[in-house]
Amino acid sequence: MKENSKELVIVESPTKAKTIGGFLGRKFRCIASNGHIRDLPKYQFGVDISTFEPHYVVPRQKTKIANQIKKLASEAGNVYIATDEDREGEAIGWHILEIAKPKSYKRISFHEITKTAIMDALKHPREINSMLVEAQEARRILDRVVGYRLSPLLSKKIARGLSAGRVQSVTLKLIVDREREIAKFIPVIYFILTAGLTIKRTVVEAKLTKVEGKKLQLGITDQKEAERIKQESEQFGFTIQSVAERKISKSPNPPLTTSRLQQLANNRLGYSPSVTMKIAQSLYEGKKVNGKQVGLITYMRTDSVNIAQTAALAAREFIKKNYGEQFIPKTAPVYKNSSSAQLAHEAIRPTDIQKIPKLMEPFLDARELKLYTLIWNSFAESQMAHSVTDSMNISLSSGKTLWNAHLSSLKFPGWMIIEGKESEKKLIQIDKNDKAALKQLKIDRKETEPPARYNAASLIKTLEKEGIGRPSTYATVVTTLLSRKYIKKEKRAFIPEEVSYKVTDRLVEYFPKLMDLKFTAHFETLLDEVAQGKTKRVDLLNEFWGPFSQQLEKAMDMPSEKPEDIPTDEKCPKCGSMLVIKTGRFGKFLACSGFPKCKYTKNLNTDKVSGKCPKCGSELVKKTGRHGEFIACSGYPECKVILNETSKKCDSCGQGIYKIAKEDDLFCINKDCPSKTKNK
């Protein structure tokens, strides 16, 4: 067969192209579009507001790959569009077709990158789903309308370089509102009474729950009252009033969705949403295992908890063989999806349950292994039997007070065996006639705490609960707020910067609907309806644009709050004019007072980093730019070295290894590292 008659498969990423190409053999050629090949123009609005028709362009950096796709598509026997199976992937596939214009095409989709899944997909091609494309276009246009109309307004009225977004601004409001709740919070002091009792040689802790028949909601709020109850209870002693026993069956959590993966990875591993998705992407696209490139997990952008029947059956066989038949539920579990879930998708799971984390250890770096273990464990647990716990509630009286104690013992671990839990000793038999001997009675002083600041996990949980955005956008929203300096992160918690209060207040004042959670969630529902063919894209956009355009017109009269320039005694090294301190989206910076004739600027928002530049030996500094924080040489512009963090660790000192941007050399920036600078 001639080279130019090969079947052409087009995917999104080079890694995926390499993995899939290895499965398909020489009759196929697999290439990557490197994400979006066509989009709205970067520096123009790109939407006809009267008809909401988008004007798409091929970005300059995508011209080469676009031309290559055109050429190969014209020569290919068949063109297979194999982009991701979600709305964005469907839209990317449609854009590829618009560019390539092949004589015919076949759309193939799959949830995992394994040879079996790819071969099966080739046997069951379909057409591009125009409704999914419409929904993605509607979202893109909606976000463009908000961003391109609001961002210039905020930059003009509050501070240069500010941005706004349909989901971004509502998310920022959540963080600002929480910070204000914390600032207004007044703590309440209360006292908890706990009695240490011995019943049949078993130590039991009982807590005060009722005083004179009245149930305590918080505790005792008066210290003298707490002391009085303590003295009386020590005098009266304790009598068992009732003993209630029951068995508690606890089901495992459903398989992982995108949002829950991000939450668990943040809570258990400390990974940010963006880091989690980056690692998950690499596990999905393929890792080299025993000499073969293979995808280790299913598609990681999903809101569905469905599991393929073949995967469920394989899990049951694995569990039976490795743990025992008693750990298999009578029927394979079926979990309930949310109303907005795309039911054609699958939950996130390992592609092969036989690839246990221990076996994958040689083929994954530390972070990949931790995330893979989390995914594998979650899937295995979801397919196992319920755990069973023996529970005993003991009610005791002391004078006019009532106390409650609780004992429990894990009878059967079920799915908890994955976490290392085992069956525990059987509970002792306790009845009303048994005596309770008081060993100790203590008073603990407590005070109510303010609501916790949002971290990545709790913020994502709230966004999902409120129906704001979609799981695939959460990581981007958090990254944008951090990189734009709207919020900062301290001990994994998000704290709004001063400018965030101004931006939020002005948006709430002039754009109340845009900043309303229910209004934003309503449009997420409408986007789902567009994907289902129940609503037209143009109707959705018209419904949004009407009130938004009216609010936009009123907001033009918004009073300016831009900070004034601060003069300095320093002269511009380029033209000799005096320098001033300005405030932009990345914080304060020095600029020439002769702007726009002289455009000299100097970033003040830098922190020194322990280490030397691998090229010139100057100090390294941490800077903030449009893509977030990065490490660069302090000798800029003479030395333009930028270092990118990698997942590797230095063999000599254990610290992080960095890579010079656009180069292959790896460096440890620890100045005291015995391995010198360059790592091979």
pLDDT in tens, 460-496: 999 999 999 888 889 999 999 998 889 999 989 999 9
Q: How far is CA 408 from the centre of its chain?
A: 35
CA pair distance 195, 405, nearest whole angstrom:
9
- Quote the DSSP letter at residue 403: E
- What confidence score (pLDDT) does residue 627 get? 52
> What does pLDDT average to over the chain?
90
541 neighbors 141 (Cβ within 8 angstroms):
yes
- What confidence score (pLDDT) does residue 507 get? 94
Nearest residue to 165 via CA among 557, 587, 468, 459: 468
Q: Tokens standing for 644?
A: 């990118």
Lowest mean pLDDT among 232-236, 261-265, 655-659: 655-659
Q: Tokens standing for 659?
A: 């890579």
CA pair distance 63, 52, nearest whole angstrom:
26
Averaged pLDDT for residues 76-84: 93
Q: Which helix (H) or strand (E) holds 579?
A: strand 578-584
- What confidence score (pLDDT) does residue 313 get? 95
604 neighbors 589 (Cβ within 8 angstroms):
yes
CA pair distance 418, 102, nearest whole angstrom:
50
Residue, of 433 and 159, whose pLDDT is higher: 433
- What confidence score (pLDDT) does residue 653 get? 72
CA pair distance 341, 223, nearest whole angstrom:
52
54 neighbors 140 (Cβ within 8 angstroms):
yes
CA of 526: how far to CAs of 51, 87, 351, 537, in Å?
18, 14, 33, 9
Active-site residues, by number, are 299
- What confidence score (pLDDT) does residue 586 get? 59
CA of 79: how far to CAs of 31, 83, 212, 234, in Å?
11, 12, 79, 83
- What confidence score (pLDDT) does residue 162 get? 86
Share of the chain above pLDDT 90, in %: 72
665 neighbors 678 (Cβ within 8 angstroms):
yes
Averaged pLDDT for residues 274-282: 94
Nearest residue to 83 via CA among 40, 57, 28, 121: 121
- Beta bridge mates, 649: 656
pLDDT in tens, 120-130: 999 999 999 99
Lowest mean pLDDT among 16-20, 328-332, 555-559: 555-559
- Quote the DSSP letter at residue 268: I
Identify whether 573 is preceded by a cis peptide bond (ω within 30 of 0): no
Does pLDDT of 182 surpass 60?
Answer: yes
Q: What is the 3-state secondary structure (H, E, C) of 440-456?
A: EEEEEEEECCCCCCCEH
Residue, of 664 and 385, whose pLDDT is higher: 385
pLDDT in tens, 301-316: 998 999 999 999 999 9
Task: Calculate the CA dihedral of residues 174, 178, 183, 187 and round it to 10 degrees.
Answer: 160
Delineate the domains of the chain, giving CATH numbers in brackets.
3-128 (3.40.50.140), 157-185+452-476+498-555 (1.10.460.10), 189-251+387-447 (2.70.20.10), 258-382 (1.10.290.10), 563-600 (no CATH), 606-680 (no CATH)
CA pair distance 224, 543, nearest whole angstrom:
61
- What confidence score (pLDDT) does residue 632 get? 81
Encoded amino acid at 14, one letter: P
Averaged pLDDT for residues 233-254: 96
Nearest residue to 381 via CA among 262, 256, 257: 256
Phi first, then psi: what are they for 28, rounded to 5°?
-120, 150
- Tell the burial category of 133 from Cβ atoms under 10 Å away from its Cβ (0-12, 13-18, 19+): buried
- Tell the burial category of 680 from Cβ atoms under 10 Å away from its Cβ (0-12, 13-18, 19+): exposed
Averaged pLDDT for residues 550-560: 88
pLDDT in tens, 622-658: 776 555 567 888 777 677 788 776 667 777 776 777 7
Residue 658's SS3 state is strand
613 neighbors 620 (Cβ within 8 angstroms):
yes
- What confidence score (pLDDT) does residue 410 get? 97
Give Cβ neighbours of residue 478 (< 8 Å, ≥ 6 apart): 171, 272, 273, 274, 456, 459, 460
Reported as a pLDDT band with limits 50, 70 and 90, residue 610 is low
Q: Tokens standing for 469?
A: 């955005």
Strands 79-81 and 7-11: parallel
Phi first, then psi: what are they for 590, rounded to 5°?
-85, 140
- What confidence score (pLDDT) does residue 680 get? 38
Does pLDDT of 1 surpass 50?
Answer: no
Q: Estimate the crossing angle of helix 14-24 against helix 115-123, to 10 degrees.
A: 80
CA pair distance 232, 679, nearest whole angstrom:
71
Does pLDDT of 361 surpass 50?
Answer: yes
Residue 216's SS3 state is coil
Averaged pLDDT for residues 605-615: 68
Reported as a pLDDT band with limits 50, 70 and 90, residue 243 is very high
300 neighbors 284 (Cβ within 8 angstroms):
yes
Reported as a pLDDT band with limits 50, 70 and 90, residue 612 is confident
Nearest residue to 480 via CA among 611, 356, 585: 585
Averaged pLDDT for residues 75-92: 93
Nearest residue to 337 via CA among 314, 316, 309, 307: 307
- What confidence score (pLDDT) does residue 679 get? 44
Q: Estimate the crossing angle of helix 273-285 against helix 366-382, to 10 degrees.
A: 80
Share of the chain above pLDDT 70, in %: 92
Reported as a pLDDT band with limits 50, 70 and 90, residue 446 is very high
Phi first, then psi: what are they for 591, rounded to 5°?
-145, 155
Phi first, then psi: what are they for 343, rounded to 5°?
-70, -15
372 neighbors 283 (Cβ within 8 angstroms):
yes
480 neighbors 627 (Cβ within 8 angstroms):
no
260 neighbors 273 (Cβ within 8 angstroms):
no
